[in-house]
Structure 1
Amino acid sequence: MSGPRTVPERRPSPPRATDTASDVVRWAAFSCVLVPVVLLWYGTSLAGATGTAFGLAAVTTACRVLLRQSERGAARLLAEERAPHRGRRHRTGTGAHRGGRHTGGSTPVG
């Protein structure tokens, strides 16, 4: 007779960076609408609420651009880690064996 079967537990996978970034952008866009409405509700002028909305939209856009760049960089690093390394094993320093400046004398050739 065999013992009772155990089913391995499935751990929830951690959220992907793109999911988290898009959630942040969605909440920021929501606040771009909600904050001016609340400001108008509490008696701020229409011009003040509009200026606040434009300011929040600008900050949200800048953050979205930075998040996308960060995601691309992380994806590039992950792809480089997974790709097999080919070619030379070590990189040479700047200028070493690559036509860099020589510190020899300045005697003319010829």
Structure 2
Amino acid sequence: MSGPGPAPERDRATAPSRDPVGVVVRWAAFGCLLVPVALLWCGSSAAGAVGAAAGPATVTGVCRLLMRRSQRVAARPPSGERQPRRDPCRRAGTGAREGRPHNGGDTPVG
């Protein structure tokens, strides 16, 4: 007889993962709402409470944008080695014209 217990490994593997950025932003938004409530509770004016909440709300919004951007950059596949840039002023050809160093070893001695 099997009773309630820990979930099998396959159930844990298919569970949706939590978005860490979303969790941070939700807590920050909660803090931004808590600031004016605490200020009003302590006797501050409504305009002062709203003004004091505007700063943390702005910081929260900017941090959310930066965290999402860093997630997108981190999710990009590695590009490997960069391809050398082609100089449009050079003509197609062989030898030193293709970017190989020309040290004079191929020139005949006079």
Interval of TM-score (by shorter of Structure 1 and Structure 2)? 0.5 to 0.7
Q: Pick closer, same or farther for the CA change 1:90–1:52 going to 2, 3 Å.
A: closer
Picking from 78, 96, 102, the partner of 1:80 is: 78
| Matched residue type, 1:34 | L
Instruction: Provide the TM-score with structure 2 as the length reference.
Output: 0.57
Give me the whole-angstrom Cα distance separating, in 1, the residues matched to 2:75 and 2:20: 15
Q: Is residue 83 of structure 2 the alignment partner of residue 91 of structure 1?
A: yes
Q: Pick closer, same or farther for the CA change 1:37–1:101 going to 2, 3 Å.
A: same
1:9-24 alignment runs, 5 A limit: 19-24=19-24
- Aligned-residue offset at 1:91: 3.2
Percentage of pairs with the same residue: 48
List, as ranges, runs of 4+ consecutive aligned residues in structure 1 with deviation greater than 4 Å.
none
Give me the whole-angstrom Cα distance separating, in 1, the residues matched to 2:42 and 2:89: 69
- Aligned-residue offset at 1:24: 0.5
Deviations 1:39-71 (A, max 9, x none): 111122211101012222111111111011011
* Higher relative contact order structure (alpha carbons within 8 Å, sequence separation ≥ 6): 1
The structure with the largest alpha-carbon Rg is 2
Give me the whole-angstrom Cα distance separating, in 2, the residues matched to 1:64 and 1:28: 10
1:80 alignment partner, SS class: coil
Give me the whole-angstrom Cα distance separating, in 2, the residues matched to 1:69 and 1:39: 33
Give the CA RMSD over aligned residues: 3.1
1:21 alignment partner, SS class: helix
